Structure 1
Amino acid sequence: MAKIRSLSITTPLLFAAPFKSEWAQTPIDINTPLSAGGWEDAGSLKFSRGFVLAKNDAKFLYLALDVVDDLGNDTGTNDYFWLSFDKNRDRAITANQDVNYGLYPGQPNKLGRQYYLGPGTWTALLPDPSLSEVRQEFGSSENSSASHRIWKFKIDLQEINVALSWPLSTPFTYFGFRVRSSNPAFTTDFPGDFYKDFTKLRQLVFSRKPVISPSLLGPLIGSVGLIPTTKIDTTGRATTDPGYFIAVQNAAFGGTLNLIGNRMKTQQLWNDGIKKYKVEITPPGGSAQKLISNWSNYRWTGSTYALESFAASSLGFYELANPSIDYSIDDLLIQFPTSALLPGLYQIKVIFYKRVGPLDVAVDNQTIGLFIDNHVPAVNIDSIKHGANEVSACAIETIGAAPDGLKFKITANDPEGNLLAANFYATYGAGLAVGIYSENYTPALGHWMGFSGKTIPASGNWRPPQSCAYSFIIVASARTTNGYGYIGQNSTHRNLTLLLS
């Protein structure tokens, strides 16, 4: 089994200690007052005019700017904020990528989004839709009983390029903000001049360790990532309940996997002095063998995350980490890559041992089956025809009056039956796109392999919306998870110029 190299997420001598977000057990409704509940135990960071609060789940960052010094209940957008994120986390301003959030003029509860062009310069507000939201509030909070300005945010993690599925480090971003008050009058940047120099941004570390209901956890191996082992069926695929924070349907496993212990059980083992365990893997049709892997986990020291390395002994034993210590991934039994494994159903067994005299005696174990599949679906645009004639790539084709148009044959196929979705569309002009065909997985499809040589449209022809150069693109996504979300997709495209006569 390949070894995992871990990457540090901090450069301690250069930057301030990271700000730590805490897990939101239920999505926070930012329409309700800050004091109404939901923000308890949030990560808290003091700045000169108040406090920043942070929670997250698998989809959103919930951030509150609790501006305790802003005691004037000004209307409109005379009081405002900027909120910036370094999307590629390189501590430098990257044009048309790093994002700044602000208010639409005169609309204090409408969140605008723009890209940086350089230090202190931005694009106009972006017109494309966003799942992110803002709500302003004037009221009390845990930090001050006097009524004051509060900004509450719900930021789509995809918009700031954060995913809880990162296998080699704790998910994080860099951020900075401005708050402006007209009464009393102040404008405060945190950190100072952050919008001109991203080396000053503060690191925000995301939580990916929710407290999964004990009723869902397996008896020893509680979960794979955030997916309880009780939600994995006999085929080695997982389906979670509607509303669960990681939504998967009949999903295979792939990528780098984290096997998480049942906290109650691991704490009991630790208290009983049972701290040694082995991990075995049995491939399809094969025999059990030791699963040997090296990994790192980040231990919270109270001000930062310190890197700790874990590995098996020469005899294949791992040492159980103290369950009472706060790690980036709590109760992590093993982290191992699956990219080198062939597709199929593997049995993973964790066995705990107790020293009895000169012998190590097995005292507890659990085996789970995981269908491993790291193959991405095959995709192809098999043919594009105009009438009876095949249209070659880069051709310039004239389309006559309706019903004249194009006919396509496309393929999106996954032999292992782990296809999630197929989407066939065309891009053209200045950022324009038009959908042509899409199909998504439903449980009724079972182990869905997709299709080969499918005729699109089934009847009639497809007509372009205007004369232009077109790129026809097919994208297929795998119904494969690493325990934190779906992973893996494949795409291909073909370019044509179409002229409407």
Structure 2
Amino acid sequence: MANVRSKWTNNTVAPGTMLPASEWSDAAMMTIPAGYMMVKNDADNLYIILDVVGDKGNDPGTNDYYWLVIDSDNNGAVTTDRDVLYSPWPGQPNRLGRWIMARPNATWPAPNSQVIASSTRMSFGPTSHSPLNHRIWEIRLSLSEMGITLDPTGPAPVVRFGLRIASSTPSFIFEYPVNPLSAFSSFHKIILANMAPAIYPAGTAGVVIGGVGIIPATKINAAGYATISEPYRINPDAAAFGGTLDLIGNTATLPGLWAAGARKYRVLHRFGNTLAEVNAAAWAPIRQNWANYRWTGTTHVWESFGPDSNHLYPLVNPALDYSIKALLFQWNTSTEPNNIHQFKIDFYRTAAIPVASPPQILTLRLDNKLPEVKLIDTLHNGLPVAPCAIEYMADSNDGVQLAFKAFDPEGDLYNYTLSAEWGAGQSEVIATDSYANPANRTTAPVWHGISSATMPASPGKWVPPVTCAYLFRISAWARVTNGYTYPYRWVSDFRTLTLVKPGIKLTVKPKPPLVEMIPYGFDTKGKIVGKGIEPNKLGRETLTK
């Protein structure tokens, strides 16, 4: 079994597209039969390239394909209706199919109407692994589709996989491991990058506390709000902080402190409802406990951290490799009061011997309160309509109005959206507003939203396009970040009802017949075609004699 540790991609990738070629220069790499596998990931997707240097025949649509078999529950055995096979859709090499495992060596057919979040793309040309033209498969796997959620405070998720690569010219079927539809106990591992490394742009890190998550300390103003207007992984706009916050050390300063003998540090904290109040408050040690995962070269080891009786935390060797790089302090803010908090850190050899460090005070505006949203009423001809009702429109221009509330008492509202949803993924925005609107920045950074409104405003009405069951939703985001995502918190409220257009007769149509497809590598009876082998050599040497 082989392991490959995925690298985090900093590239913003549009939905349905792949990473640009420039992103693969530092990707993690594993040798596979007749080629190389490269892997990267972000918070939403795992990106894979199968660089099949041994397939030099440009004959798409024949029997050039791959199987990527995923042990979804990581139990080392086939789990019916849980584990999956990804493979190009037969006859459509740039469409990815997802087949559910029925039992060892067998999948359920997939409906021809299947739509999935993951995707694939086939190409033919040279790469860094070979100047000769050859087959290249790009794969984008949705982490949510695979049931994976990244948690920077937990161990890095592991994707256990088996692989088959088939080519028509030259003719080969290689498997890694052999029998990947049954040999789950021999699967290889992709260890995902759990979070973006907090490597701040030059000159933006704080001198001791480099930042909060991936937000550099210099992008947090004196009032504790974060704003990043330059192109970056996230772009908070006068954002408060909330959730669990990682205070990341300056990776240039920490090695110097370690070399000076620092082995411990104390985190000092103070709080106030105004800047004047917090600046007048006394500093006091703050005590928190957290865990981080250290990479040993083969596995992640769970390590816990907390203060001793002198309120001192252990300073870890900056050269060690942890899941959260240079983590100095992890602050669980769930029980903390909202408003202004400040931090500073002092370093020590021992409890009685300090080590000089550059002065720094980090100010954070805390807001853990969600916006208040409520869909107060659905109105037809000015009268409330009960939820789940069937309401008949008088004519083709008749419609409804929505009374709603989208209000943030803390003044940290990001946006609100009033929308209608119906049918198969159809939707329409009825009303929306955001902090980006200059009219909402007259008292920046405070914007509360709206305590009560009816949209469309009279005499307007929202006219349903078709007879259907409708879901009307009011949703809002808080202008808050946890240091890694922005905006961070979303809340919604909804009502449903059926709107009937005039002259419409409701009928139930019979379901169309289901057309199903089996993946490449199987015959019409669901039996595996072709015997795959696991070669003695990997990479470009697989086909050499």
Structures share fold, TM-score greater than 0.5: yes
User: What's the secondary structure of 1:366's corresponding residue?
Assistant: coil
The equivalences for 1:65-144 within 5 A come to: 65-76=50-61, 78-83=63-68, 102-103=87-88, 108=93, 110-112=94-96, 114=98, 116=100, 118=102, 120-121=107-108, 123-124=110-111, 134-142=121-129, 144=130
User: What's the secondary structure of 1:266's corresponding residue?
Assistant: helix
Moved more, 232-241 or 207-216: 207-216
Equivalent residue for 2:449? 450
Give the drift of 1:61.
3.7
Distance 2:75 2:285 in 1: 39
Distance 1:291 1:498 in 2: 56
Alignment match of 1:288 (pick from 252, 264, 283): 283
Change (3 A) 1:189 1:233: farther
Q: Which amino acid letter does the alignment assign opposite residue 96 of structure 2?
A: G
Give the drift of 1:483.
1.0
Give the drift of 1:420.
2.1
Equivalent residue for 1:397? 391
Distance 1:185 1:87 in 2: 31
Equivalent residue for 1:493? 494
Give the drift of 1:252.
1.2
The one-character-per-residue Cα deviations of 1:337-396 (angstroms, maximum 9, x if unpaired) are: 11112221111222223459x544664442111111111211101111111311122222
Alignment match of 1:370 (pick from 364, 381, 388): 364
Q: Which amino acid letter does the alignment assign opposite residue 343 of structure 2?
A: I
Distance 1:31 1:337 in 2: 34
Equivalent residue for 2:510? none
Moved more, 302-311 or 183-192: 183-192
The equivalences for 1:146-225 within 5 A come to: 147-154=133-140, 160=146, 166-170=152-156, 173-191=159-177, 200=187, 202-206=189-193, 208=195, 209=197, 211-225=199-213
Q: Which amino acid letter does the alignment assign opposite residue 469 of structure 2?
A: A
Equivalent residue for 2:28? 43
Distance 2:390 2:334 in 1: 42
Give the drift of 1:164.
5.1
Distance 1:479 1:99 in 2: 38
Alignment of 1:411 onto 2:405: yes
Distance 1:428 1:31 in 2: 33
Moved more, 47-56 or 112-121: 112-121
Higher relative contact order (CA 8 A, sep 6+): 2
The one-character-per-residue Cα deviations of 1:180-214 (angstroms, maximum 9, x if unpaired) are: 21122233454555567877573432153153223
Distance 1:397 1:25 in 2: 49
Q: Which amino acid letter does the alignment assign opposite residue 481 of structure 1?
A: T
Q: Which amino acid letter does the alignment assign opposite residue 49 of structure 2?
A: A
Distance 1:269 1:90 in 2: 44
Give the drift of 1:26.
5.2
Alignment of 1:463 onto 2:463: yes
Alignment match of 1:55 (pick from 16, 40, 44): 40
The one-character-per-residue Cα deviations of 1:22-52 (angstroms, maximum 9, x if unpaired) are: 234556996876xxx5433321223333321
Distance 1:135 1:87 in 2: 25
Q: Which amino acid letter does the alignment assign opposite residue 259 of structure 2?
A: N
Contact 1:354 1:362 in 2 (8 A): no
Moved more, 235-244 or 79-88: 79-88
Distance 2:408 2:131 in 1: 59
Q: Which amino acid letter does the alignment assign opposite residue 430 of structure 2?
A: I
Change (3 A) 1:223 1:131: farther
Change (3 A) 1:500 1:481: same
Contact 1:165 1:485 in 2 (8 A): no
> What fraction of aligned residue pairs are identical, expressed as a percent?
37
The equivalences for 1:284-433 within 5 A come to: 284=272, 285=277, 287-355=282-350, 358-360=352-354, 363-433=357-427
Distance 2:235 2:159 in 1: 24
Moved more, 389-398 or 159-168: 159-168
Distance 1:378 1:85 in 2: 41
User: What's the secondary structure of 2:320's corresponding residue?
Assistant: coil
User: What's the secondary structure of 1:269's corresponding residue?
Assistant: helix
Moved more, 486-495 or 118-127: 118-127
Distance 1:20 1:59 in 2: 17
Distance 1:175 1:438 in 2: 44
RMSD in angstroms over aligned alpha carbons?
3.3
The one-character-per-residue Cα deviations of 1:58-81 (angstroms, maximum 9, x if unpaired) are: 565432112233232323464223
Moved more, 293-302 or 84-93: 84-93
Change (3 A) 1:141 1:76: farther
Contact 1:476 1:490 in 2 (8 A): yes
The structure whose Rg is larger is 2
Distance 1:477 1:118 in 2: 41
Equivalent residue for 1:478? 478
Give the drift of 1:415.
1.3
The one-character-per-residue Cα deviations of 1:145-174 (angstroms, maximum 9, x if unpaired) are: 554322234556565565555433435545
